[in-house]
Amino acid sequence: MKRMLLTISYDGTAYHGWQVQQNAVTVQSVLCDALGEILKTNVAVTGTSRTDAGVHAKEFTCHFDCPDNIPIEAFLKGLNSVLPSDIAVIDCKQVSNDFHARYNAKGKTYCYNIYNSTKKDPFKLRYAWQIERPLDIGKMNEFAKAIIGKHDFYAFSSSGRSAEDTVRTVSECFITKDGEDIKLTVTADGFLYNMVRIIAGTAVAVSDGRVKVEDLPQIFASKDRNRLGVTAPANALFLEKVHY
């Protein structure tokens, strides 16, 4: 047997996240079914993380074990032929048998899209959070810079968190604007449940003046979720890259 690392891209709109769930269609369950069809056996797939319902991924990684005699190029083509149009395998390579898609990851980069306009655009709204009032990019970047570093991000997570250790190190966080399109990019060694969506919601709250950047040290220390912004909608969040 050999261990393979798959890199997949998916539109999460139709799925209840990555993780297999009873009575729900997930990316993991669809991928396992497709692998089973190609390999003619049940296949267990381990993902690098969980993504929420409606969240998308440009580069999501997962590993599985398969027979040694699988020709990678033909396997990749065959797997894509049986996957639905909203899931694509973009890379497939052999890794060491002790490799783990989650535990070997050194960090991840997420992007969050905001459509800052009063105009309705059905194509942008599928993948962005529309905010009609003008946003202050300068203030939002002050906030982004302030959360870089090692902090206890307990306040930046929802009650459904499973991690006991809530300390994370953010290595980069910045916000860019191109016309009506605003993008938050954040890279960290790990993320808590809803952490990026709360960061996005808080960046907007800082722009509005409802959260003050100078209060962040107290907010980190207090672990008080109520002192931050809303949890931004899932449809605008993308897992951009997994770093190994």
Which CATH number is 176's domain given?
3.30.70.660
Q: ∠110-235-167 over CA atoms, to 5°?
A: 40
Look up the CATH number of the domain holding residue 32: 3.30.70.580
Distance, in Å, from the CA atom of 144 to the CA atom of 68, rounded to the nearest integer, reads: 46
Residue 100 domain-assigned (yes or no): no
Do 75 and 31 share a structural domain? yes
Do 120 and 63 share a structural domain? no
Do 237 and 154 share a structural domain? yes
Do 125 and 84 share a structural domain? no
Do 123 and 36 share a structural domain? no
Do 126 and 73 share a structural domain? no
| pLDDT tens, residue order, the chain (244 aa) | 899 999 999 999 999 999 998 889 999 999 999 999 999 999 999 999 988 899 999 999 999 999 888 888 899 999 999 999 999 999 999 999 999 999 999 999 999 999 999 999 999 999 999 999 999 999 999 999 999 999 999 999 988 777 789 999 999 999 999 999 999 999 999 999 999 999 999 999 999 999 999 999 999 999 999 999 999 999 999 999 999 9
Do 112 and 79 share a structural domain? no
Q: How far is CA 224 from the centre of its chain?
A: 23
Q: Last residue of some domain: 95, 119, 140? A: 95
| Span 195-220, pLDDT tens digits | 999 999 999 999 999 999 999 999 99
- What are the structure tokens assigned to 181, written together? 């399109």
Residue 186 domain-assigned (yes or no): yes
All residues at 6 or more sequence positions from 141 whose CB lies less than 8 Å from its CB, including other chains: 174, 175
Q: Last residue of some domain: 95, 117, 132? A: 95
Q: Taking the chain, what is the end-to-end CA distance rounded to the nearest angstrom? A: 23
Do 213 and 114 share a structural domain? yes
Residue 101 domain-assigned (yes or no): no
Reduced to 3 states, what is the DSSP secondary structure of residue 12? helix
pTM for this prediction: 0.94
Residue 138 domain-assigned (yes or no): yes
One-letter amino acid of 170: V
11 given a catalytic annotation: no
Residue 102 domain-assigned (yes or no): no
Catalytic residue among 11, 33, 52, 121: 52
Task: Evaluate whether 151 touches 167 at the Cβ level (below 8 Å).
Answer: yes
Interhelix angle 72-82/27-39, rounded to 10 degrees, is: 130
Please count the residues of the chain. 244
Domain span at residue 204?
Answer: 107-243
Do 135 and 43 share a structural domain? no
Count the Cβ atoms, other than its own, within 10 Å of residue 186: 25
Residue 122 domain-assigned (yes or no): yes
Residue 128 domain-assigned (yes or no): yes
Residue 7 domain-assigned (yes or no): yes
Do 162 and 89 share a structural domain? no
Task: Evaluate whether 155 touches 170 at the Cβ level (below 8 Å).
Answer: no
What domain count does the chain have? Answer: 2
Q: Last residue of some domain: 67, 95, 123? A: 95
Do 235 and 144 share a structural domain? yes
Strand partners for 150: 169
Distance, in Å, from the CA atom of 52 to the CA atom of 160, rounded to the nearest integer, reads: 11
- What are the structure tokens assigned to 3, written together? 């261990």
**Which residue in this structure is represented by tokens 């897992």?**
239
| Span 132-159, pLDDT tens digits | 999 999 999 999 999 999 999 999 998 8
One-letter amino acid of 213: V
Strand partners for 167: 152
Do 131 and 223 share a structural domain? yes
